[in-house]
Structure 1
Amino acid sequence: MDLWRKLSHSRSRLVFSLLSSINRQSAMQARSSLQGRNIYDGCCQLDIQFSNLSELQVNYNNERSRDFTNPSLPTEQRGRSSQHGYGDTGSLYALQSSGARVAFPQMGNTAAIAAAFGGGLPPGVTGTNDRCTILVTNLNPDKIDEDKLFNLFSVYGNIVRIKLLRNKPDHALVQMADGFQAELAVHFLKGALLFGNKLELNFSKYTNITPAPDTHEYAGSSLNRFNNNAAKNYKYCCSPTKMIHLSSLPQDITEDEILTHLEEHGTIMNTKLFEVNGKRQALVMFENEEQATEALVCKHASTIDRSTIRISFSQLQSI
């Protein structure tokens, strides 16, 4: 089966995995031939980039990954985690034990990180990326600013600096605290909808953002979510969902006050107030992921009755 026929029957996000299975010269020829072409007439335009990985490790042959040289791979992990969508329990520890691949120091307590992700890293996340700066494109320049980008990207790690590119108003650079957190942000946010635009994220060629008058600094911000107990916070990392979780709420807040604070961002389907260890929290379900993302971006770190609220995505399916 020729490469183009494989691609035409695959999702565009699988292109990079397929290309990694062929040699360097063939990969260069494939990129040259396929860059900018459509998988289907008039849609699904290919954007092909070379990965920083020297090889791709595939553990399962299923709808998410496939090794065409090894058809005998299992379709899923035996005794898999109960948290749907997360993969190989041993994948994170394999980074430690392999002589060729070692986990980067920024991952810290790898056992705790593995536990936060339900036993292993999300499929497609290697834990070996060392590039901290992300290039974000296709932003809505009329509605985005540095603080809103901070609110979104801080879900996946601490933010050092953010810079909007004035000569390209729909572009921004986001520097994360380390490469692992940057990899999580790229993995979970690529293709997310925000203010009517589908976000594109790639690792920048720049290792960091140079401090400048038009650069916003966040390294010392108390609003960075991973300042304390970082490993525990990884369990909240996921792609945008319809459900958001609010914490640090005033003790006497009502559901009506929450609705008033958030309803400008979309249709709220359901809400629930509850307490954890005596602290008031809430779940709010929007009609779709884009509305919930806008609410998080605009209202994380906002105040209600002198309380600075915190908002994360929730992986719960219903209230």
Structure 2
Amino acid sequence: MAEPSKVIHIRNVGHEIAEADLLQLLQPFGNVSKIALLQMQDLHNSVSALQYYSTVQPSVRGRNVYMQFSSHQELTTDQNSHGRNSDQESEPNRILLVTIHHMMYPITVEVLHQVFKAYGYVEKIVTFQKSAGFQALIQYQSLQEAMDAFGALHGFHKPIIAYRTASKGLSASYAQMGRAAMITAAFGGTLPPGVTGTNERCTLIVSNLNTDKINEDKLFNLFSLYGNIVRIKILRNKPDHALVEMADGFQAELAVHYLKGAVLFAKKLEVNYSKYPNITSAPDAHDYTTSSLNRFNSNVIKNYRHCCAPTKMIHISALPQEITEDAILNHVSEHGSVVNTKLFEVNGKRQALIQFESEEEATEALVSKHATSLEGNTIRISFSQMQSI
């Protein structure tokens, strides 16, 4: 094995894997300063990443990849390969040069802002026309924001909502285009199979609930994995039915896609679109519009990337620094048989992976224990897409 190096060599990278996918694996351990092989910002981050992935199999888009230290201690950029007047900088900076080829629709500053603001605070946008095509300079507040945008949007080409000149007018169409690009980029350029991105209905009807164990907060814990929750109402005349209003149609579509048929408290959920456009504010409707537990108020792109159907593995964050595996197990093991656990640290913050015997047990643990207090901390729980630990 090579000596520890800031440069990491990754094998078995398929043609469908983009730079953004590799960044997602390594960025929890520190800033990535170059991508060719892949160079971390410093040696400590590189060692931490490989120590972690020596016990957890890294996987990108369902393909196992393999990491080792490179024999290179540093990656260098060959300026001559691009010519002296190349627009490609040798080092990342907070200003992006964006070139749009084969532009089918007018692109305005507003559209660009809608797309790029998802990755950070955009300070300035300047657009111009060059021989290479329509171009823009986009300046972020920080280097990391610019790198996140580059990793997610470089090479992006597939919008999910067609340009429309319907009665909503041009401005609405531009906004739709920008949001479409942001969402598609979050999923690596292609939406999950079966998700269209065109649904506009925000309210869902959920049926076949276990009336002895379910309540609005438990439904919130589950459905908030796929978007922000506005209101939830359990129907008093049909207590095994509930209405769930999501913040927008795309988030509602994700919830339908991933939760239809999921098993919760020994009941197979039915999740469909409701005939009601929204839930009217009323004493029997729980309002979550101002809840700090809504997950999509920040890190929107990251949260979309982590959307998945219920799995056997849950990820727990916001843990106390002195927490032990035994304390975590005592908190969640009442919900099923725990197969394996792993307590680890990312950027100085304690996190855990808990693998249950079944998806149903993991789902019960998530809906029952998300946002509960553990040794004074309000913990956060989501499903993990890792297959084993």
When normalised by structure 2's length, the TM-score is: 0.58
Q: What SS does the corresponding residue of 1:125 show, helix, strand or coil?
A: coil
Give the aligned partner of residue 149 of structure 1: 219
Residue 193 of structure 1 contacts residue 199 of structure 1 at CA under 8 Å; is this kept in 2? yes
Amino acid at match of 2:16: R
Q: Is the 8 A contact 2:161 2:176 kept in 1?
A: no
Do the aligned partners of 1:127 and 1:183 also contact (CA within 8 Å) in 2? yes
Asked if the contact 1:186–1:201 (Cα under 8 Å) also holds between the matched residues in 2, the reply is yes
Sort the Cα spacing of 1:91 and 1:242 in 2 relative to 1 into closer, same or farther, 3 A.
Answer: farther
Offset at 1:107? 8.3
Cα distance 1:182–1:280, how it changes in 2: closer, same or farther (>3 A)?
Answer: same
Match of 1:128 in 2: 198
Quote the residue 1:80 is aligned against: 16
Deviation of the 1:235 alpha carbon: 1.1
Decide whether aligned partners of structure 1 residues 284 and 264 sit closer, same or farther in structure 2, where only a CA change above 3 A counts: same
Q: Is the 8 A contact 1:161 1:219 kept in 2?
A: yes
d(CA) in 1 for partners of 2:235 and 2:250?
A: 24
* 1:283 aligned residue (348, 353, 361): 353
User: How much has 1:229 moved relative to structure 2?
Assistant: 2.3
CA distance in 2, matches of 1:302, 1:140: 21
- Distance (Å, rounded) in 2 between the aligned partners of 1:253 and 1:107: 45
Aligned partners of 1:154, 1:264: CA distance in 2, in Å? 23
Q: Which residue of 2 aligns with 1:260?
A: 330
Deviation for aligned residue 1:240: 0.1
Q: 1:303 aligns with which of 358, 373, 381?
A: 373
SS in 2 for 1:262: helix
Aligned twin of 1:65: none
| RMSD between superposed Cα atoms in Å | 2.4
Residue 97 of structure 1, CA deviation: 5.9
1: distance between equivalents of 2:197 and 2:157?
10
Match of 2:68 in 1: none
Partner of 2:232: 162
Do structure 1's residue 313 and structure 2's residue 383 form an aligned pair?
yes
CA contact (8 A) 2:226 2:304 kept: yes
Alignment size in residue pairs: 238
Corresponding residue to 1:93 among 159, 164, 181: 159
2:298 is the alignment partner of 1:228: yes
Matching residue of 1:177: 247
Amino acid corresponding to residue 192 of structure 1 in structure 2: A
The aligned residue for residue 188 of structure 1 is 258
Shift of the 143–198 alpha-carbon distance from structure 1 to 2, 3 Å rule, reads: same
Which residue in the other structure is 1:248 paired with?
A: 318
Residue 104 to residue 295, structure 1, CA distance change in 2 (3 Å): farther
Once the two structures are overlaid, the 10-residue window that deviates more, 257-266 or 228-237, is 228-237
Q: Distance in 2 between matches of 1:255 and 1:191?
A: 32
Give the alignment partner of residue 212 of structure 1, picking from 282, 287, 304: 282
Shift in Å, 1:106: 6.9
Amino acid at match of 1:318: S
State the distance in 1 between where 2:177 and 2:355 align: 32
Change (3 A) 1:245 1:105: farther
* Bigger proportion of residues as strand: 2
> Cα distance, 1:108 vs. partner?
5.5
Q: For the structure 1 residues 106 and 257, does the alpha-carbon distance in structure 2 shift closer, same or farther, using more than 3 Å as the test?
A: farther
Work out which of the residue numbers 268, 279, 289 in structure 2 matches 1:198: 268
Q: Distance in 1 between matches of 2:199 and 2:186?
A: 19
- 8 Å CA contact 1:249–1:307 kept in 2: the answer is yes
Structure 2 residue aligned with 1:53: none
Q: Please state how far the C-alpha of 1:115 moved relative to its aligned partner.
A: 3.5
Amino acid at match of 1:95: I
Deviates more, 1:294-303 or 1:230-239: 230-239
Question: Could you tell me how far apart the structure 2 residues matched to 1:160 and 1:178 are?
Answer: 9
Cα distance between partner residues in 1 of 2:336 and 2:359:
10
* CA distance in 1 between partners of 2:241 and 2:206 (Å): 6
Alignment match of 1:238 (pick from 305, 308, 321)? 308
Whether the 8 Å contact between 1:107 and 1:180 is mirrored in structure 2 is: no
8 Å contact from structure 2 (residues 161, 177) kept in 1:
no
Q: Are the structure 2 counterparts of residues 94 and 127 from structure 1 closer, same or farther at C-alpha, using a change threshold of 3 Å?
A: closer
Larger radius of gyration: 2
